[in-house]
């Protein structure tokens, strides 16, 4: 039914993507999709919305969404923000049910009009290197988050979203612990103890929150970091494995392949080729 | 000679203060002082600057500064930002030596003119409750940080500031560890091991970076959190002690007094009285 997304480890995500079909899924992060070109049908909480250039889709926290098959696709600015970027105050935003998910920021009378300059600024600064660009993007993202409260909403969150959020909240400590300690060996028991859970309860909680196991999540997190290191072009395979807590080269290669479908060497070659 | 400031634990500090005399000290956080009323002589790296209403003083990372005795004092907007708020990119800002520390943002031809609307916005939003105000303040702070690169500077940092920064950088992992784990018992050995140091080297490093011992720092950090909990007016003394990792009530009261000069009960009474 849905495919989990492993985003708990990211502070925030801003990306330009060419979006085609994607199966139904949810995550605690709030998601904005700003359509730049093309056309795309999106399904949010069972309702279909047509994305066209200039339109903005706002997907609430823990809200199910998908993009049906057989579409040409669209170029989108994607923004995701959750607890790790917005802090504990995010729960106030996560509790909103947006009653008009599809908006037109370019129309001056739209409730989303104040978002337009922020989206335009984000398009300009996104992906640029250097501290100034990074801080400018963060500044824009915090302004965006603050503006989201002004969009049409009510606060009667469906029961299932409430439950998902409760579980996610309890798991934030786990994500933070992984973020702090992924560089070294990290036994499940240690993490469970650190947040005050017994092993078996911990496994149940984690599965409910992420729809995956602790080990799969940890592997995916480590390989995500490894990908960025590989893209930067620096460091040997051995050193990259060590930096993400998988010091044994054979294990690193095997786990990388499990997660990414290609070996680390192939991945690096592809990334270099497309540059 | 200088009094250490325990700020490593704070994400960022924004405060309206009535500043009088203060002994010479330094910290890795960059510091902005925007004068609202009154007059104050400030000494930065041995040079004296007169703060008058509308003037802005920019104090670089790890730069010594003080306010001599015998002054009437001034009302200031204080902003401090460092690694814990700006992330690892802060090192680029910390490496700047500001060649014109005293600026006049109100004058249109001043290099600090772009900071004026940000300072005014911060004055408006600072201290307001709720997620929107907090995110708006963060947005302003990231913009401020980004603008600071445009101020007149060079990059030949004095040797002593370079050295202080190196030590501070190594200690960031300790501050982060404390921030994550202060709620429970936290032996020095555990923290030393977690960042890959032997006990005795760890103590030397920590002392160099913070001018205080690990235990004093940890106590001050815990009591800082306890103060905020006391101000919020919720929770018994026992529960507050437990929340900051000092579950034994007698120890909590003793350590609180050591750090704050008053008992937790007196502190709470004072805070309530002034409301």
> Residues near B158 by Cβ (< 8 Å), separated by ≥ 6?
B45, B97
Q: Judge whether B173 lies within some domain.
A: no
DSSP, collapsed to helix, strand or coil, labels residue A56 as strand
Residue B133 CA to residue B128 CA, distance in Å, equals 6
Mean pLDDT along residues A225-254? 88
Q: Are strands B73-81 and B30-44 parallel, antiparallel or unpaired?
A: antiparallel
- B87 lies in a domain? yes
B185 touches chain A (CB under 8 A): no
ipTM exceeding cut-off 0.90 for this assembly = no
**In this predicted structure, what is the pLDDT of residue B170?**
79
Give the residue-averaged pLDDT of B155-160.
91
Residue among A9, A6, A4 nearest A174 (CA): A9
Residues A150 and A22 in one domain: yes
Lowest mean pLDDT among A91-105, A254-268, B76-90, B224-238: B224-238
The pLDDT of residue B2: 39
Output B225 or A104, whichever has higher pLDDT. A104
Q: What is the pLDDT of residues A55-94, one digit of tens each?
A: 999 999 999 999 999 999 999 999 999 988 898 899 999 9
Say which range, A99-108, B105-114, B158-167, B203-212, has the weakest mean pLDDT: B203-212
Contact A138/B136, CB-based, under 8 Å? Answer: no
Residues A244, A222 contacting (CB under 8 angstroms): yes
Q: CB distance B89–A134 less than 8 Å?
A: yes
Contact check, Cβ <8 Å, A131/B149: yes
How many beta-carbon pairs under 8 angstroms link A with B? 66
Q: B216-255: string of b/e by CB count within 10 Å (b at 16+)? A: bbbbbbbbbbbbebbeeeeeebeebbbbbbbeeeeebbeb
pLDDT tens figures, B253-262:
999 999 888 8
Residue A149 and residue A193 in one domain: no
Percent of chain B whose pLDDT exceeds 90 = 55
Q: Give residue-wise pLDDT tens across range B206-242.
A: 888 777 899 999 998 899 888 878 877 778 888 899 9
* pLDDT-based confidence at residue B6 (cuts at 50, 70, 90): very low
Tell me the angle at which helices A214-232 and A249-260 cross, rounded to the nearest 10 degrees: 100
Mean pLDDT for chain A overall: 88
Structurally, how many domains does chain B consist of? 2
Q: Is position B176 within any domain?
A: no
Same domain, residue pair A125 and A39: yes
Per the listing, tokens 């929107």 go with B132
pLDDT value for B158: 93
Determine the residue among B135, B147, B148 to mutate to test chain A binding: the one whose Cβ has the most chain A Cβ atoms within 10 Å. B135
A131, A139, A176 member nearest B89 (Cβ): A131
Whether residue B21 is found in the same domain as residue B145 = yes
pLDDT at residue B9 in the model: 44
Q: Which residue has the higher pLDDT, B128 or A105?
A: A105
Q: Do A142 and B146 touch (CB under 8 A)?
A: no
Do A136 and A64 share a structural domain? yes
Q: Lowest mean pLDDT of A17-26, A68-77, A106-115, A168-177, name the range.
A: A168-177
Q: Does A131 touch chain B (CB under 8 A)?
A: yes
Cβ distance of A93 and B131 shorter than 8 Å: yes
> In this structure, is residue A177 part of a structural domain?
no
The pLDDT, as a whole number, for residue B232 is 72
* Pairwise CA distance, residues B261 & A93, whole Å: 40
Question: Structural domain of residue B258, as residue ranges?
Answer: 182-273
Domain membership flag for residue A167:
no
* pLDDT for A3: 38
pLDDT of residue A273: 63
For residue B183, the chain A residues in CB contact (below 8 A) are none
Cross-chain residue pair A139–B135, CB shorter than 8 Å:
no
> Is pLDDT above 80 for A180?
no
Provide the phi-psi class of A237: left if phi over 0, else alpha when psi is between -120 and 50, else beta: alpha
Same domain, B49 and B146: yes
Question: Is residue A217 predicted with pLDDT exceeding 60?
Answer: yes
Confirm whether B170 is domain-assigned.
no
pLDDT tens per residue across span B44-75: 999 999 999 999 999 999 999 999 999 989 99
Query: pLDDT value at position B246?
Result: 95
User: Which pLDDT band, with edges at 50, 70 and 90, does A142 fall under?
Assistant: very high
Show which of B136, B154, B172 is a domain's final residue: B154
């Amino acid at each position: 039914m849905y495919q989990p997304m492993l985003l708990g480890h990211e502070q925030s995500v801003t990306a330009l993507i060419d979006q085609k079909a994607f199966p139904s899924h949810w995550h605690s992060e709030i998601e904005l999709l700003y359509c730049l070109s093309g056309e795309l049908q999106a399904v949010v909480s069972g309702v279909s919305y047509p994305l066209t250039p200039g339109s903005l889709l706002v997907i609430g926290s823990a809200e199910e969404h998908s993009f049906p098959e057989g579409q040409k696709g669209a170029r989108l600015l994607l923004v995701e923000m959750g607890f790790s970027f917005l802090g504990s105050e995010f729960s106030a935003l996560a509790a909103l049910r947006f009653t008009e998910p599809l908006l037109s920021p370019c129309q001056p009378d739209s409730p989303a009009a104040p978002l337009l300059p922020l989206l335009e600024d984000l398009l300009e600064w996104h992906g640029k290197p250097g501290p100034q660009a990074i801080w400018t993007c963060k500044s824009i993202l915090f302004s965006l988050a603050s503006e989201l409260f002004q969009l049409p909403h009510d606060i009667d969150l469906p029961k299932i979203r409430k439950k998902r959020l409760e579980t996610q909240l309890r798991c934030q400590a786990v994500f933070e612990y992984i973020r702090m300690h992924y560089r070294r060996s990290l036994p499940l028991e240690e993490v469970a103890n650190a947040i005050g859970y017994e092993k078996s309860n911990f496994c149940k909680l984690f599965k409910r929150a992420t729809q995956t196991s602790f080990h799969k999540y940890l592997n995916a997190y480590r390989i995500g970091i490894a990908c960025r290191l590989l893209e930067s072009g620096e460091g040997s395979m051995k050193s990259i494995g060590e930096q993400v807590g998988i010091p044994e080269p054979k294990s690193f290669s095997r786990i990388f392949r499990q997660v990414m479908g290609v070996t680390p060497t192939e991945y690096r070659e592809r990334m270099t080729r497309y540059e």
